[in-house]
Amino acid sequence: MALPKVGSIGEYIREQRQQAKISLRQLASAAGVSNPYLSQIERGLRKPSAEILNQIAKGLQISSQALYVQAGLIEDRETPSDVVTAIRADAHLSERQRQVLIDIYESFRKEKHPEDEQTSQKAHPRGDSVTDDEPPLPEEFLAALEPYAASGGNGTVNQETKEG
Amino acid sequence: MALPKVGSIGEYIREQRQQAKISLRQLASAAGVSNPYLSQIERGLRKPSAEILNQIAKGLQISSQALYVQAGLIEDRETPSDVVTAIRADAHLSERQRQVLIDIYESFRKEKHPEDEQTSQKAHPRGDSVTDDEPPLPEEFLAALEPYAASGGNGTVNQETKEG
DNA sequence: CCAGACCGTTTGCAATTGCAAGCAGTGCGG
DNA sequence: CCGCACTGCTTGCAATTGCAAACGGTCTGG
């Protein structure tokens, strides 16, 4: 049983890491695990414990739960994977807001996930720090959301960027 | 160095087991782990891997996530809302997509409704379809979402979600 | 050309997980 | 009394995790 079929989890981690444009060693350092071990995990040669998984999730700044689901450590149905249901059940949203969120979510789900083809990014980030601190959402984007947001009409988008 | 500080998880398991009124061996059998190992886990002498934890959760017929939280493997961040939790747990989304959805959701939440009160219970008894007359999202809107959607530069938004 | 700094990978090894086997204690019926 | 079934616990041992050290490769620059 030494053949772990956890390939997906390793691939998932590697995808997330490359998407974040950080090197294996950087992630290993951020996650507090050794570089060789992370290498083996990414290639599916080792089955990381949940503790390591959790640290990696932190290093990647992604949800631990998503990682656990990928690792098969949490049953899919156990997670409220039904985002739409959650949105529908949220009483704090207006009906218009719900519709917008659901539409965006479904459009995301339709976007096929390319198998890690980052053609657009540089192959070598080099010594230059690649701190992609892009703001979560540009103001104009949120401004475009407003008319769809609520019926209040009070256009007040408080998206203060707490950039230190 | 085997400082067993993981007592809480073991105690939690033991509590759940005793609450279910089943013996240690029964739970071990149901969970597919050996009885001595389960004994050691319950007394905090061993730190079970997530796989074992998952099996024990199944044997106890409780949520794996609750167990992971107890084990400190999932941040017990107070869940801001079910929507955010659902988004975070959705493994089908990319990290960027998650960020966008959460940002939009939170920006919606910030648009305070003048008389909205955050009562714990749902204010809407039936949030059923409100027959929105207007189209959910213009194409240009979804087009603006694309760069935030996935890593690929595949510019294709098929907005055919709505019933035709 | 070679030193230096990265990258990911390979190789042994200490520490740990997780289990099979066996040990003590309790309650039942013959 | 003795066997039997049940409870949970202790003891070695194979298999695995996870790491430190070292390896080969690419790129920069003096």
Exposure on the CB side of residue A89, measured as CA atoms within 13 A: 14
Nucleotide nearest to B37 (CA to C1'): C18
Chain A, 38 to 77: residues with Cβ < 8 Å from chain B are 47, 49-51, 53-54, 60, 62-66, 68-71, 73-76
Cβ distance A88 to A95 under 8 Å? no
Flag whether the ipTM exceeds 0.85: no
Q: What is the pLDDT of residue A61?
A: 84
| B109 contact A CB<8A | yes
Lowest-confidence segment of A37-46, A79-88, A102-111 by average pLDDT:
A79-88
As a whole-number percent, the residues of chain A with pLDDT over 90 amount to 23
What confidence tier does A71 reach under pLDDT thresholds 50, 70, 90?
Answer: confident
CATH 1.10.260.40 residue ranges in chain A?
Answer: 7-71
Q: Which residue has the higher pLDDT, B114 or A73?
A: A73
Taking CB atoms and an 8 Å limit, are B100 and A152 in contact across chains? no
Chain A residues touching B158 at Cβ < 8 A:
110
> Distance between CA atoms of A47 and A3, rounded to whole angstroms?
10
CATH architecture of the domain formed by A7-71: Orthogonal Bundle (1.10)
> Distance between CA atoms of A92 and A110, rounded to whole angstroms?
27
Lowest-confidence segment of A10-14, A44-48, A121-125 by average pLDDT:
A121-125
Mutual orientation of helices B24-31 and B35-42 as an angle, nearest 10°?
110
Cβ distance A55 to B74 under 8 Å? no
As a whole-number percent, the residues of chain A with pLDDT over 70 amount to 57
Residue A65 CB in 7 A reach of strand C = no
Chain B residues touching A83 at Cβ < 8 A:
83, 86-87, 90, 101
Q: What is the pLDDT of residue A117?
A: 36
From first to last of the 164 residues of chain B, give the pLDDT tens digit: 333 344 478 999 999 999 889 999 999 999 999 999 999 999 999 988 888 999 999 998 887 877 888 887 876 553 445 788 778 777 778 778 888 888 888 888 876 554 444 333 333 333 333 333 344 444 545 555 555 444 433 333 333 333 32
pLDDT beyond 80 at A35: yes
Tokens at A11, concatenated: 């691939």
Q: Could you tell me the distance in Å between the CA of residue B8 and the C1' of nucleotide C24? A: 27
Cβ distance B87 to A80 under 8 Å? no
Using alpha carbons, list the distances in angstroms from residue A156 to A52, A161, B100, B107, B111: 42, 15, 19, 10, 7
pLDDT beyond 70 at A41: yes
Q: What phi, psi does A72 have (nearest 5°)?
A: 75, 15
Among B73, B105, B141, whose Cβ lies nearest the Cβ of A54?
B73
Q: Which residue has the higher pLDDT, A128 or B17?
A: B17
> Distance between CA atoms of A24 and A17, rounded to whole angstroms?
8
CATH architecture of the domain formed by B7-70: Orthogonal Bundle (1.10)
pLDDT, tens digit (0-9, with 9 covering 90-100), for B64-99: 877 888 887 876 553 445 788 778 777 778 778 888
Q: What is the pLDDT of residue B121?
A: 32
Taking CB atoms and an 8 Å limit, are B54 and A73 in contact across chains? yes
Tell me which residue of A12, A23, A113 sits closest to A70, measured CA to CA.
A12
Q: Which nucleotides of chain D does any protein CB come within 7 A of?
A: 6-11, 15-22, 27-28
Mean predicted lDDT score pLDDT of chain A: 68
Tokens 């009160």 identify what position?
A: B117
Taking CB atoms and an 8 Å limit, are B97 and A108 in contact across chains? yes
Which residues, including other chains, have CB under 8 Å from residue A35's CB and lie 6 or more apart?
A: A24, A25, A28, A29
> Distance between CA atoms of A50 and B53, rounded to whole angstroms?
9
Nucleotide nearest to A48 (CA to C1'): D17
